[in-house]
Amino acid sequence: MLPDKKKLKLGLLLEGAGRTFTDWAHANAVRDAGSSFDFHRRQTQLVEQGKFHFVFLADQVYCEARSEPHALSRLEPIALLSALAVATQRIGLVGTVSTTFSHPYTTARQMATIDHISGGRAGWNVVTSDPNKGCQNYGGVPQLSHADRYRMAREYVGLATALWDSWEDDAFVQDKEKGIFFDPAKMHTLNHKGEFFQVQGPLNIRRAPQGYPLLLTATFSKEGRVFAGECVEGVFSIPENLPESQDLYRQIKAAAINAGRNPEHVIILPTCKPIVGSTEEETAKLVQERRASVSFEQKLRYLGKWFKNHDFSVYDPDGQIPLEVIASGLIGHEGEVERIEHATKVEKLSLRQIAERFGQPVDRFAGTPQQIADEMELWLREKGADGFIMGEPLPGQLKVFVEEVVPLLQRRGLFHEDYEGATLRENLGLPRPKNRFAAKA
């Protein structure tokens, strides 16, 4: 047990058809998982039994023939979370909305609605999107640079939180005897006229149970890390190893301090897909089963997703990736592109070697329940993570983790035994934001 009794935070990434091109084809996989509410409900209820803090829905607003199956058919996050809210009782519900192709008033209203429906369990994964892709489906919006997209995101998040504050907590008096529905002094218009948005306000829904739904972001770039430290409370990351995660951990906590925030109020959540075997021999068989399901050609296709679904099969696999292809890396995933660029320019790796390293999702960790618990404890103790956002590498593995690893973590004092409060913020140990207008009054 850690000396300060710090506990892991756990979320589940709901991935439908899976992250590889072949996850859906596994003999035990649900073929239509991406569009099946029943699949998402069952997985969410399973991890709610395991006391996970939240489920997490990634999203993107475009697809094409070379996209992975998960991108080709999946349910829209806001609608899905609304349905899951009434199918669950305690677990948090986090969904992705892009600040590039949506409007802050609509997002603020949707997220506040889910928070009310769920009794305070909503979360928003704040992302910026590649305008060169999404604009094809949104009427050809102006092209934005990387820095512009983060300036827009800052204004967007600031406006959303102001809208959530536009009603004070006790604004709706609803006194039937006196005929008073609300207190006008506790309603606040914004009259916001910014660089990207104009919104008068107030929001047409009372303040959310959590004040603000939980704010998360997935960060890969340097700019994204600064944004995370300034604006959100949870960070979804995909580091290659513990040292890289420790570096990210330090940078984001430092960014939070520089922004005048408590670094403990920004939780770092690397992704992992534990493969759990009862013995090391069984684990080795499961790992081999997982690796054998992804061919070299499919790894090349997965690698292509970081480069606008570029076709890497046309190159000599034992040669290097052309530098002009690397320069075309996908906006919004600069961190992954930088890793591939370093592997090409500095390590001089071939396309084959790069496909083996970067051409499939990072599973992390593999072992017996004891070994998985050891690894998670190590990352927590060594400040590489405050918890993890998990995925399911093979059908049935999530159930094994819930039944065999979670109890072990609980016995070690590394994971809570039950939900501490009614809201997602309470269960994560994060404060409820004060209303800015009430604070001034």
330-359 pLDDT per residue, tens:
555 666 788 888 889 899 999 999 988 887
Percentage of the chain beyond pLDDT 90 is 71
CA 421 remoteness from chain centre: 22
2 pLDDT higher than 50: no
3-state secondary structure of 323: helix
Distance in angstroms (rounded) separating the CA atoms of residues 229 and 251: 8
Mean pLDDT over the full length of the chain: 91
State the average pLDDT over residues 211-234. 92
State the average pLDDT over residues 56-79. 90
What's the pLDDT tens digit per position in 79-97? 999 999 999 999 999 999 9
122 pLDDT higher than 60: yes
Can you spell out the DSSP letters for 321-376? PPHHHHTTPPTT-HHHHHHHHHHHHTS---HHHHHHHHSS-----EE-HHHHHHHH
Rg (Cα) of the chain, in Å, rounded?
A: 22
Superfamily of domain 9-277+362-440 in CATH is Luciferase-like domain (3.20.20.30)
What's the pLDDT tens digit per position in 388-407? 999 999 999 999 999 999 99
The 10 Å Cβ neighbour count of residue 214 is 28
Nearest to 362 by CA among 273, 265, 268: 273
User: Residue 287 phi/psi, 5° resolution?
Assistant: -60, -45
> Could you tell me the residue ranges of all domains in the chain?
9-277+362-440, 295-358
**48 Cβ contact partners less than 8 Å away, ≥ 6 residues apart:** 88, 89, 90, 91
Point out which residues pair with 236 in neighbouring strands. 218, 269
Distance in angstroms (rounded) separating the CA atoms of residues 122 and 164: 13
Element of type H or E holding 271 = strand 267-272
User: Residue 124 phi/psi, 5° resolution?
Assistant: -120, 120
Tell me how far CA of residue 434 lies from CA of 113, 164, 198, in angstroms. 19, 11, 24
What's the pLDDT tens digit per position in 361-392? 667 899 999 999 999 999 999 999 999 999 99
